[in-house]
Structure 1
């Protein structure tokens, strides 16, 4: 891949994730908010941004990274994603424990909470599955991991789109669309649920 194309791809990725994060960090809705509340919101936005890299790393679409290095980075990004989700939920708990309890019990009056909780548990399950990778048959592991990844993406996208919060609407919608398209392309490319699925992780 030539240097110009590499530069353009990295620039596009930087804009796709940097603009929504910057817009959320400078949102006027954060005025007079507590540091814990701000941390909760930004952790959620960063988690969304990190998700975009995961399918790209799996499929080898990130320029400058050979396959073995891309899988290594994929694992580290996954760990960072788990940490961001934990910070997001923990900070929300500090700001309003009853709201978090209602969300976890699926009785919250805000519909977006349900999708966020589903995505959260899928993130944790995916991380747990990653640690069990060598104990399961490759095809079983890949199908389960992919199913959880799709659940994470769909849950997170619906969660984000239904929140009228600090994320700027246009950049948020673009990030969500790119995340959905990248995930769909990789799932189709890998043919995980076919009998001829590729065997490389």
Structure 2
């Protein structure tokens, strides 16, 4: 049993590394990089890394990354969230440096490109979650209140990021990009379902104990 658990843990981490690493490696070999400046390239890869971190988040909060305990998973979820916000900041800042007019159009939702509104919406959701997470203790947000705020924003982040990525025809290779996006959606949906089931079971146990 121990051997199976170890093998399973290795497979999970290898799959995660491939899901994130292959799109990055494929993008690094794109011919389009020859026509891009270093700042634009940095911004692009920051965006890819950000999408990879979006995949990691539900895996951490759902407890799907052994041997991390539930507590360590939540702590890692917190720090990865900060890294995600930082990666998005680099992505946006790099694009702003290379083309301020395009970024102004994107941020004001007046860009003609179909992918911009989804990316900007996801960006603001990420920044809002990061800000609230940093102020959670000061605002004295209860766990239930935090979930009510965080879960809808998490859906916005995931949906916006995935659609934004799929609509862009850039350096990312099509198949590996689609696989990464599918993994993000699958991990998020599974984590949300599992956490909801776990909460209902805990509530039922609490009600049963109260009756006794």
TM-score range, shorter chain: over 0.9
| Residue pairs, 1:128-167, within 5 angstroms | 128-134=131-137, 135-167=140-172
C-alpha separation in 1, matches of 2:37 and 2:11: 38
Root mean square deviation, CA, Å: 1.8
| DSSP 3-state at the match of 1:109 | coil
Partner of 1:70: 73
1:37 aligns with 2:40: yes
Moved more, 24-33 or 144-153: 24-33
Q: Which has the higher helix share?
A: 2
> Contact conserved, 1:190 with 1:197, CA < 8 A, in 2?
no
8 Å Cα contact 1:191/1:198 also seen in 2: no
Aligned length: 198
Alpha-carbon displacement from aligned partner over 1:143-189 (angstroms, at most 9, x marks no partner): 21111111000000000000000110000000000100110111111
CA distance in 2, matches of 1:71, 1:25: 32
Q: Secondary structure at the match of 2:35?
A: coil
TM-score, normalisation: structure 2:
0.89
Where does the alignment leave 5 or more consecutive residues of structure 1 unmatched?
A: none
Stretches of structure 2 that go unaligned for 5 or more consecutive residues are: 204-212
Looking at structure 2, the residues matched to 137 and 45 of structure 1 have their Cα atoms a distance apart, in angstroms, of 33
Alignment of 1:12 with 2:15, yes or no, is yes
Question: Deviation of residue 197 (structure 1)?
Answer: 8.1
Equivalent residue, structure 2, for 1:173: 178
- Equivalent residue for 1:116? 119
Could you tell me how far 1:198 is from its partner in structure 2?
Answer: 5.8
d(CA) in 1 for partners of 2:77, 2:109 = 31
Counterparts of 1:124 and 1:52, CA distance in 2:
17
Runs of 4+ in 1 over 4 A off after TM superposition: none
Provide the rounded CA distance (Å) in 2 between the counterparts of 1:123 and 1:198: 29
Q: Secondary structure of the equivalent of 1:31? A: helix
SS of 2:10's partner is helix
2:30 aligned to 24, 27, 32, which one?
A: 27
Match of 1:58 in 2: 61
Larger Rg: 2
Helix, strand or coil at the partner of 1:111? coil
Alignment of 1:78-97 (within 5 A): 78-97=81-100
